[in-house]
Amino acid sequence: SRATVFAEMLRALESDGFRATAGALGAVILVVLLATRRLGASVAVITTLLGGVVLTVGGAAWLGTRLNFLNFVALPLTFGIGVDYGINLYDRMKFVGGDPAAAVRSVGGAMVLCSFTTVVGYGALISHDNKAMQSFGRIAMAGELSCLVTAMFLMPAALYLLRKRSAG
């Protein structure tokens, strides 16, 4: 029955949720290290992702949203989708001479459009009859938007300051 399947999902996520989330984060970090092949680039991208995750979890706590079994699954999804923005922006910086502002102008519109389509997909869950699915939709949307904001604003600002500091 539907209730039995749902109860079994609850048990599985409660017992394996943290391990799956930690494993997903570890895998994302490994892929970033392999993709960028530079420690500085990896730190910039991973810091951007973690900033988005902190904003997501902190915002959820501030709004009183409890972390339940289903919206906990939104975190590994946020890792996978959210890291993409930092990677794309950092990669674009290599092609525009290391200028963070030029990179945002070059790829920012595509990043916003990509995020928008994902947010719309997650937004459909908000009208679900199951409260856990609604919560998942809200957390997933928040994770998506938080990672976009950190990639579009935090990362370029930090890289600009580092670039300015090393030049001066």
Alpha-helical segments (H) within the chain: 2-36, 39-62, 69-72, 74-95, 100-123, 131-149, 155-167
What does the pLDDT read at residue 161? 86
Is residue 82 within 8 A of residue 52, CB to CB? The reply is yes
pLDDT tens digits for 85-116?
A: 999 999 998 899 888 899 999 999 999 999 99
**Does the pLDDT at position 141 exceed 70?**
yes
Can you tell me whether residue 66 is helix, strand or coil? coil
Q: What pTM does this model have?
A: 0.84
Which residue in this structure is represented by tokens 């989708």?
Answer: 81
Interhelix angle 155-167/74-95, rounded to 10 degrees, is: 40
Contacts of residue 125, Cβ cutoff 8 Å, sequence gap at least 6? 133, 134, 136, 137, 140
**Does the pLDDT at position 56 exceed 70?**
yes
DSSP state of 98: T
- Torsion angle in degrees (nearest 10) through CA of 106, 108, 113, 119: 160
**Alpha-carbon distance 99 to 93, whole Å?**
6
What does the pLDDT read at residue 72? 76
